[in-house]
Amino acid sequence: MNVLVAGGAGFIGSHLIDSLLLKGHRVICVDKLIMGKQNIEHVADSKSFKFYEAELADQSTVDEIFKNEKIDIVYHLAANSDIQKGGKEPGIDFNDTLLTTRTLLEGMRKAGVKKMFFASTSAVYGEMPDVELTETTGGLMPVSYYGGAKLASEALISSYVSMCDMSVVIFRFPNVIGPRLTHGAVFDFIRKLRKNPTELEILGNGTQCKPYIYVLDLVEAIMKLTQTFSPGEVVYNISVIGEGTTVTHIAEIVVEEMGLHDVRFAYTGGDRGWKGDVPRFRYDIGKVLSTGWIPKHTSDEAVRQTVKDAIAAGM
Ligand X SMILES: NC(=O)c1ccc[n+]([C@@H]2O[C@H](COP(=O)([O-])OP(=O)(O)OC[C@H]3O[C@@H](n4cnc5c(N)ncnc54)[C@H](O)[C@@H]3O)[C@@H](O)[C@H]2O)c1
**Positions that interact with ligand X (CB under 6 A):** 7, 9-13, 31-35, 55-57, 77-79, 81, 95-96, 100, 119, 121, 173, 175-176, 182
Sequence-ordered list of residues with C-beta below 8 angstroms from that of 167, at least 6 positions apart, any chain: 114, 115, 116, 161, 229, 230, 231, 232, 233
Q: How far is the CB of 7 from ligand X (least distance, A)?
A: 3
What is the CB neighbour count within 10 angstroms for residue 280? 15
List the beta bridge partners of residue 32.
none
Question: Which residue is closest to ligand X by CB?
Answer: 10
Q: Considering the complex, what minimum distance in angstroms separates the CB of residue 33 from ligand X?
A: 5
Cβ 303 to ligand X, closest distance in Å?
13
Nearer to ligand X, 91 or 269 (CB): 91
How many whole angstroms separate alpha carbon 28 and alpha carbon 30?
7
Question: What is residue 38's DSSP assignment?
Answer: G
Helix axes 299-312, 185-195, angle to 10 degrees: 40
Tell me whether residue 202 or residue 302 sits nearer to ligand X (CB atom).
302
| 77 versus 168: smaller Cβ distance to ligand X | 77
Minimum distance, C-beta of residue 246 to ligand X, in the bound complex (Å): 17
Q: Least separation, in Å, of the C-beta of 264 and ligand X?
A: 28
Pair type for strands 2-6 and 26-31: parallel
Comparison of 14 and 263: residue with beta carbon closer to ligand X:
14
- Which lies closer to ligand X via its Cβ, residue 197 or residue 223? 223
CA 80, CA 187: separation in Å to the nearest integer? 17
